[in-house]
């Protein structure tokens, strides 16, 4: 094995999963993140089975299932409460794992941090990669504290806003999807097992709303809307209530549960897909640095952690590094492209309600079914 010492830049799901997978294969791993300290903040997540398959592979599945809430179907409705379909979610991680779980982002992050530390991963917080140099078979990093170190590989896992991406020769940049999203964690009633609701016309409200249980008493809700936060004098929770005003059924309870104490987050949804090489020499980008999509089939995190596991498997085998990366790309890019194409098609339909022949349910189902085979 020619790769023995790796620097990972970014401590999100991509970076931590790569750190764990590499450390389990005997690699000495250092991970840096610009955050001065890990903060327990963040909303809920819907984690599909193929991400759970990765978490099983790296030995954290039991802990993750313990903090998450498993579901195998989602109810699709119109905003007036009319049920369109009970969509059975494909078990993309195999029959031995739930189709999906809902969980709080900080819970999952803490599990991955503990696992990485237990394997001897060195974590340095408050640091960024300021520059790098490629050598013959190594790369030298310069961090924001001025330190210079040599590595067999540098992994860039900084996310969609990566400042390193252009230095790898990648010309693609993040682009607007035409959507914005509000996220919140709030209470749920016992019968509420997961739902997505579509508007019956363009009334100035949300493009779509949905929720995923994260515990017996709580759920994560999302509200898709226009990408601009209107200057209408409303507090965040009041704006979300306005966007949800015409969504009924279970969404009446969710709307009324919001108040000034609810943790809310709003952001414009951007996307990127880099189809060409993700590396320059011994510096390789993974995850949302090179592919990030609207969260319409809940595959963002799943595709990132799949990257990390497969990358670790390839580069710790005997062989030529460039050939290993070429084989890695050959497996990853077609799979990711299917997710990108489906997500962008759904994003178009969200912004154009009433589009003839729009079939969001079948498109979601087909895209997820394609992910059942292992990556």
Q: What percent of the chain has pLDDT over 70?
A: 100
pLDDT at 1: 60
If you average pLDDT over each of 117-126, 185-194, 340-349, which comes out highest? 117-126
Identify the residue with better confidence: 40 or 193: 193
Per-residue confidence band for 53, with pLDDT thresholds at 50, 70 and 90: very high
pLDDT at 241: 97
Cβ-based neighbours of 183, under 8 Å, separated by 6 or more: 43, 44, 220, 221, 222, 223, 264, 265, 266
**Cα 75 from Cα 192, distance rounded (Å):** 10
pLDDT at 65: 97
Backbone angles phi, psi at 347, to 5 degrees: -60, -40
Q: What percent of the chain has pLDDT over 90?
A: 85
Residue 234, CA distances (Å) to 177, 237, 289, 309 in order: 25, 8, 34, 44
Q: Two tokens at 220?
A: 């994560």
Per-residue confidence band for 360, with pLDDT thresholds at 50, 70 and 90: confident
User: Residue 354: pLDDT above 80?
Assistant: no
Task: For residue 117, give the H/E element and its range.
Answer: helix 105-118
**Of the candidates 314, 301, 161, 190, the residue with the CA atom closest to the CA atom of residue 253:** 190
Can you tell me the mean pLDDT for 12-23?
A: 98
pLDDT at 358: 83
The pLDDT tens digits of the residues spanning 296-309 come to 999 999 999 999 99
**Cα 304 from Cα 15, distance rounded (Å):** 9
The pLDDT tens digits of the residues spanning 207-263 come to 999 999 999 999 999 999 999 999 999 999 999 999 999 999 999 999 999 999 998
């Amino acid at each position: 094995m020619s790769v023995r010492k790796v620097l990972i830049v970014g401590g999100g799901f991509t970076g931590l999963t790569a750190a764990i997978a590499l450390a389990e294969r005997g690699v000495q791993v250092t991970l840096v993140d610009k955050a001065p300290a890990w903060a327990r903040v963040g909303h809920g997540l819907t984690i599909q089975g193929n991400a759970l398959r990765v978490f099983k592979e790296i030995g954290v599945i039991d802990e993750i299932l313990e903090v998450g809430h498993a579901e195998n179907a989602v109810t699709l409705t119109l905003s007036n409460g009319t049920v369109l379909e009970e969509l059975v979610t494909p078990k993309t991680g195999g029959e031995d794992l739930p189709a999906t779980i809902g969980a709080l982002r900080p819970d999952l992050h803490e599990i991955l941090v503990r696992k990485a530390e237990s394997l001897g991963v060195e974590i340095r917080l408050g640091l960024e990669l300021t520059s790098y140099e490629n050598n013959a078979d190594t790369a030298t990093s310069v961090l924001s504290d001025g330190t210079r170190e040599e590595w067999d590989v540098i992994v860039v896992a900084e996310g969609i806003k990566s400042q390193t991406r252009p230095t790898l020769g990648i010309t693609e940049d993040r682009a607007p999807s035409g959507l914005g999203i509000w996220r919140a964690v709030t209470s749920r009633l016992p019968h509420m097992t997961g739902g997505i609701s579509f508007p019956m016309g363009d009334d100035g409200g949300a493009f779509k709303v949905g929720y995923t249980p994260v515990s017996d008493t709580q759920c994560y809700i999302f509200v898709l809307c226009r990408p601009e936060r209107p200057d209408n004098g409303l507090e965040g929770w009041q704006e979300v209530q306005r966007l949800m005003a015409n969504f009924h059924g279970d969404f009446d309870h969710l709307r009324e549960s919001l108040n000034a104490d609810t943790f809310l987050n709003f952001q414009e949804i951007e996307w990127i897909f880099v189809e060409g090489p993700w590396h320059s020499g011994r510096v390789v980008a993974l995850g949302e640095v090179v592919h990030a999509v609207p969260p319409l089939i809940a595959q963002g995190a799943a595709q990132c952690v799949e990257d990390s596991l497969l990358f670790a498997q390839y580069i710790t085998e005997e062989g030529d590094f460039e050939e290993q990366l070429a084989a890695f790309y050959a497996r990853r890019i077609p799979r990711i492209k299917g997710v990108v194409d489906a997500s962008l098609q759904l994003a178009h339909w969200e912004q154009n309600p009433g589009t003839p022949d729009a079939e969001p349910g079948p498109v979601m189902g087909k895209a997820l079914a394609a992910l059942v085979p292992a990556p």
